[in-house]
């Protein structure tokens, strides 16, 4: 049986699949050529991340496919229900990248409150000639300890992000329409563990209470955060989106940053990805990364292993 990992697959996954007798193809096939390639190679399993889409037309045109796999959580680039209705297995790895995404959120927040994203731009340009001026410009930092983190979407990634906040001494408030509470396990290196239960509250209350707000929601038909939601937030609050592009109204976001309503924003995903708006990229209050939430060696190893395990179980 053949597996096409069109957006790549960690060696952990390749090795596990090959040991089970699968042939793994790591060729990156252009979207418009995918149908012909799958049919010519008689592909049984197609694995994607966020770059490749698997829509109804491709599913109908490629009868050899038995499994569609997504390396990650969100599956908005796959027509999931249609595929399942056609008898295909659709799998993903919801737990594998949670901690990597959570760490990236706090890398952004930590950088924003100490101006690292801006300092790293300006120190190479002005550090020698204007050291004292830059020191003064970046002197008004904020500590995360004692602040409130609001989490919209309290699934695995939201809870992993909350765990980091709790370790930093932050208060956590969360909203999720599908749960009333979640117990966060804080595991420490010496084997000790503490369980902390976080009860969810309304979205409106989360927005009002948050000094820092992080979104961990699936793709939506409408904005989760628009002008009215931003207006209800604390003055000077920070917001992060490492979930899906399009859940924040970026026009309203830039207006709030420019007016001082918001203190800063961290974006790993964008409305117009892969061509983010220049107003986002150039704003000095925005910390940006190119959709790398799950792009760590540890996460990719876990993704590869989990995908391989599911494929082997389903087809062997």
Residue carrying the six token digits 């970046």? 138
Q: Count CB neighbours of 234 within 10 A.
A: 18
pLDDT score, position 300 = 93
* Catalytic-role residue among 244, 250, 271, 302: 244
Let me know whether 218 and 311 are in one domain.
no
Let me know whether 267 and 307 are in one domain.
no
Question: pLDDT (tens digit, 9 = 90+) per residue, 104-155?
Answer: 999 999 999 999 999 999 999 999 999 999 999 999 999 999 999 999 999 9
55 in catalytic set: no
User: CB within 8 A of 24, min separation 6: which ones?
Assistant: 2, 3, 5, 9, 13, 14, 17, 18
Let me know whether 166 and 227 are in one domain.
yes
* Catalytic-role residue among 35, 103, 205, 273: 273
The pair of three-digit structure tokens given for residue 226, joined into one six-digit string: 């628009």
Residue carrying the six token digits 């000095």? 284
User: CB within 8 A of 66, min separation 6: which ones?
Assistant: 44, 45, 88, 89, 314, 315
Mean pLDDT, consecutive 10-residue stretches, the chain (316 aa), reads 95 96 96 97 95 96 97 90 97 92 98 96 96 96 98 96 97 97 93 95 98 94 96 98 96 98 98 95 96 93 96 93
291 in catalytic set: yes
Let me know whether 132 and 182 are in one domain.
yes
Task: Report how many domains make up the chain.
Answer: 2
* Catalytic-role residue among 117, 291, 302, 306: 291
**78 neighbors 56 (Cβ within 8 angstroms):** no
- Which of 172, 180, 181, 157 is CA-nearest to residue 244? 157
244 in catalytic set: yes
Quote the distance between the C-alpha of residue 287 and its chain's center. Answer: 15
Structural domain that includes position 139: 98-288
Let me know whether 199 and 254 are in one domain.
yes
């Amino acid at each position: 049986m053949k597996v096409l990992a069109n957006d790549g697959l960690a060696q952990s996954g390749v090795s596990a699949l090959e040991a089970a007798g699968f042939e793994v193809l790591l060729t990156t096939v252009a979207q418009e050529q995918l149908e012909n390639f799958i049919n010519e190679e008689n592909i049984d399993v197609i694995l994607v991340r966020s770059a490749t889409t698997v829509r109804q037309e491709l599913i109908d045109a490629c009868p050899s496919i038995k499994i569609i796999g997504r390396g990650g959580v969100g599956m908005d680039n796959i027509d999931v229900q249609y595929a399942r209705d056609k008898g295909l297995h659709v799998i993903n790895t919801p737990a594998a990248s949670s901690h990597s995404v959570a760490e990236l959120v706090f890398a952004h927040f930590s950088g924003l409150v100490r101006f690292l994203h801006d300092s790293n731009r300006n120190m190479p340009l002005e550090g020698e000639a204007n050291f004292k001026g830059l020191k003064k410009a970046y002197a008004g930092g904020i500590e995360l300890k004692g602040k409130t983190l609001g989490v919209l979407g309290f699934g695995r990634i939201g809870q992993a992000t909350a765990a980091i906040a709790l370790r930093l001494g932050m208060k956590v408030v969360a909203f999720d329409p599908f749960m009333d509470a979640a117990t966060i396990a804080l595991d420490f290196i010496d084997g000790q563990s503490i369980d902390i239960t976080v009860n969810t509250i309304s979205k409106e209350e989360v927005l009002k209470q948050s000094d820092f707000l992080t979104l961990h929601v699936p793709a939506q038909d409408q904005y989760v955060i628009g002008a009215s939601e931003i207006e209800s937030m604390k003055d000077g609050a920070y917001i992060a989106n490492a979930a899906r592009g399009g859940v924040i109204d970026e026009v309203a976001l830039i207006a709030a940053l420019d007016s001082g309503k918001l203190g800063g924003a961290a974006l790993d995903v964008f409305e117009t990805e892969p061509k983010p708006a220049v107003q986002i990229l150039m704003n000095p209050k925005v910390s940006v990364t190119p959709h790398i939430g799950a792009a760590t060696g540890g996460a990719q190893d876990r993704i590869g292993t989990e995908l391989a395990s599911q494929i082997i179980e389903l087809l062997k």
